Amino acid sequence: MRRLQAAAARKNFSALVTKSAAGERIKVTRYNKTAAVLIPKRDLERLQDCEKQMAAPHKRARGGGR
């Protein structure tokens, strides 16, 4: 995973979006701590699917969903 300071990311944002769209994950840091991560859309979709799967059992257990 590429790591980049926020100031550099701001200057190169368009190029970073292009790289992320092509599959690269990019960690943006401030003061040597992760502030944000640019991820490809497919990774976001996988994350959202996982969140839905994690939420589904909780809805059934509480009687929700209908």
Domains of the chain with CATH codes: 2-61 (3.40.1620.10)
Strand partners, 30: 33
39-55 residue pLDDT tens: 999 999 999 999 999 99
The backbone torsions φ and ψ at residue 46, rounded to the nearest 5 degrees and listed phi first, read -65, -40
Residues 7, 16 contacting (CB under 8 angstroms): no
pTM of the model: 0.75
Output the pLDDT for position 58: 65
